[in-house]
Amino acid sequence: MAELITLARPYAKAAFGCARDNKDLQGWSEALTLAATVTAQDKVATLLSSPGLTSEEKTRALVETCGDTFNDKQQNFISILAENGRLPLLPQVQQLFELYKANQEKSVDVTIQSAYKIDGDMESKLAKALTEKLDRKVSLQTSVDESLLGGAVIRAGDTVIDGSVRGKLVKLAEAMHG
């Protein structure tokens, strides 16, 4: 997996640079998300990995499958990926692009799993506290996981804060047996 990310990084940086320079981060984000979703489909992945098709044919197939979604620059980007045999990397390119976009926009997606439903007032307080702590605009998603027993698990990017009762019990058990 790390190897795929490494291969995808220069393409993601190029796409991000073009999107930033043209002030079209959202447009590129939507186009790359669609392209990544489409290329992840088994039939499309098989078609795009076919050695019998030229890179132009692969580009045309992907662009036609996605409809009128791509502008000229995005079509050129897809064409470059096809020429270099990198169309299967679109999911990793999209993932990295979203990270670059979030860093540019100083935003982060945060998920909170809690043992009980979090009311609107508490959600607002958590969003405000996380915005200050992470120094980023926070997009908050909450869900209920009754197996936590109590507390919550907060995920922000690659940061995980486990304040759940279940998590504390696991740590206690490890300490006792360790």
Task: Residue 7: give its domain's CATH number.
Answer: 1.10.520.20
Q: Assess whether 112 and 68 both reside in one domain.
A: no
Q: Is the pLDDT of residue 158 over 80?
A: no
Q: Is the pLDDT of residue 2 over 70?
A: no
**CB-based contact 136:122 (threshold 8 Å):** no
**Considering the chain, what percentage of its residues have pLDDT values greater than 70?**
98
**Considering the chain, what percentage of its residues have pLDDT values greater than 90?**
52
The confidence band for 105, taking pLDDT boundaries of 50, 70 and 90, is confident
Percent helix / strand / coil, the chain, rounded to 5: 65, 15, 20
Parent domain of 159: 108-177
Q: Assess whether 119 and 145 both reside in one domain.
A: yes
Quote the pLDDT of residue 162.
86
| Mean pLDDT in residue range 151-171 | 83
Who contacts 55 (Cβ-Cβ below 8 Å, separation ≥6)? 79, 82, 83, 85
pLDDT higher at 109 or 124 = 124
Q: Assess whether 41 and 82 both reside in one domain.
A: yes
Q: Assess whether 87 and 23 both reside in one domain.
A: yes
Q: Assess whether 88 and 122 both reside in one domain.
A: no
The confidence band for 102, taking pLDDT boundaries of 50, 70 and 90, is confident
Q: Is 69 exposed, middle or buried (0-12, 13-18, 19+ CB in 10 A)?
A: middle
Count of structural domains, the chain: 2
Q: Is the pLDDT of residue 54 over 60?
A: yes
Q: Assess whether 120 and 163 both reside in one domain.
A: yes
Quote the pLDDT of residue 71.
93
Q: Assess whether 7 and 95 both reside in one domain.
A: yes
| Mean pLDDT in residue range 15-37 | 94
114 sits in which H/E element: strand 107-114
The confidence band for 97, taking pLDDT boundaries of 50, 70 and 90, is very high
Alpha carbons 148 and 162: distance in angstroms, whole number: 10
Quote the pLDDT of residue 68.
83
Rounded to the nearest integer, the mean pLDDT of the chain is: 89
Q: Assess whether 21 and 38 both reside in one domain.
A: yes
| Mean pLDDT in residue range 43-67 | 89
The tally of CA atoms less than 13 A away on the side-chain side of residue 171 is: 7
Alpha carbons 39 and 90: distance in angstroms, whole number: 7
Q: Is the pLDDT of residue 1 over 60?
A: no
Quote the pLDDT of residue 172.
86
pLDDT higher at 130 or 158 = 130
